[in-house]
Structure 1
Amino acid sequence: MTTVFKSAAALEQAVGQSLGVTEWMTINQQRVDTFADATGDHQWIHVDPEKAKTGPFGGTIAHGYLTLSLVNYFLPQLMKVENLQMGVNYGCDRVRFPAPVRVGASIRGNGEITQVETLANGAVQVVVRVTVEVQGSDRPGCVVDTISRYTFNPDS
C-alpha cells in the first residue's frame, strides 16, 4: 500500500517509520540484456547464460546498476507526495550491493524515511532508504539512500 504525504509536516512525522514493501517482481534475462544494450555492459556474468552456469554465481546475474535503477520503479509504490509545486530527484548516497540478484530471482523494495530537512527556500529534502530484498536471501541485492526535494503549494 502506498503511503501518501500531503505536507512537509507529514513527512517530518514519518521519519523512522517504515513505508512497507512493494510487490515482488521477477528479474528475467530479457531485462538484463536490455540493460546491457542500453549501458554497453555486456560482461558474460550478465548476458551469457551458458558460460555463467560455470561462473561464481551459478548463472547470470543482474547488473548492480540495473538493481539500483529499479529503486525508481519501487519508490512510487512505497510513497506518493501530493500538493506539490515541484518535486525533483536530488540523487542518492550510500549505495551498496550486498548480494547478487540472479536472473529468475524475485525482488521487492522495502522503504523507510530516514531524514527530512527543511531547506532555505521552504522546500524539504527527504532521504528514503530503499532496501531491495531478494526473495529467499538473507542479504539484500541493493541498499540505497535516495534523496528527493519537494516544494509544496502554499496553503490557501
Structure 2
Amino acid sequence: MLDITRLPVRPATFDDLQALIGREIGPTGWHEVTQERVTAFAGLTLDRQWIHVDVERAEASPLGGTIAHGLYSLALGPAFSYELLSFDGFDRSLNYGYDKIRFPDPVPVGSRIRMRTTLLSAERVSGGIQLRSSQVFEREGGGKPIVVAESLGRLVE
C-alpha cells in the first residue's frame, strides 16, 4: 500500500494508481499571492483587467482590493501536483487537459492558497494510462474553495 502521508506520493504501476482512487492527497504547502505575481501573470496573459492590476481602483470596489485571476490559481495546478505526486516510475507524464472548472470564490492579493487532489480514475488507453483527478484549491481562512477542477493526465509506461 502506498503511503499517502509522505509527499510526494510515488505510484509506479497501474495497480498503485488503482489503489489511490478515492484517496485525498495533500494539502500542498501554502503559496503567497502577491501583487507582483498577479501583475506578472496579467502581463503574460494580456489580461490586465483593472480588478487585477489597478490597486487604487480595486480598493474602492466592493472587493476592497485587487484579486488574482481565476486562471492564475488554476495555472498553479501542475506545480502543486508535483508537490503531491511523483510519476518518476513512468516514462513520462503529460497534462491532457481539464474538465468542469469552477472559480467559486475570489482570491484577494495577499492571500495564501494551496491544493488537495483526489485521483478519481485511472484507465488504460491507447499509449498509456489516463488519470482523472479532482483538484480543490483553498484560500487560508476562506469559507469555500477558490477553484474546483477535474484534471486529466496521461502517463506513458
TM-score by length of 1: 0.93
Q: Which of the numbers 28, 38, 42 marks the counterpart of 2:34?
A: 28
Q: How does 1:56-95 map to 2 (within 5 A)?
A: 56-95=62-101
* Cα-to-partner distance string for 1:115-150 (whole Å, 9 max, x where unaligned): 1111133x1101111111101011111111111111
Q: Which of the numbers 102, 105, 109 marks the counterpart of 1:103?
A: 109
C-alpha distance in 1, partners of 2:100/2:84? Answer: 20
Moved over 3 A (4+): none
3-state SS in 1 of match to 2:51: helix
Quick check: 1:149 aligned with 2:154?
yes
Any gaps of 5 or more consecutive residues in structure 1?
Answer: none
Quick check: 1:48 aligned with 2:57?
no
Read off the aligned partner of 1:142 and give its amino acid letter. Answer: V
Bigger fraction of residues in strand: 1
3-state SS in 2 of match to 1:13: helix
User: Across the two proteins, how many residue pairs are aligned to each other?
Assistant: 151
C-alpha distance in 1, partners of 2:129/2:62? Answer: 44
Q: Does structure 1 retain, via aligned residues, the 8 Å contact 2:10–2:89?
A: no
Read off the aligned partner of 2:87 and give its amino acid letter. Answer: V
C-alpha distance in 2, partners of 1:106/1:120? Answer: 39
2:135 alignment counterpart: 130
The two structures, once aligned, show a CA RMSD in angstroms of 1.0
C-alpha distance in 2, partners of 1:141/1:104? Answer: 14
Q: Does structure 1 retain, via aligned residues, the 8 Å contact 2:105–2:147?
A: yes
Percent of paired sites with the same residue: 34
TM-score by length of 2: 0.92
3-state SS in 1 of match to 2:95: strand
Q: Which of the numbers 114, 117, 121 marks the counterpart of 1:115?
A: 121
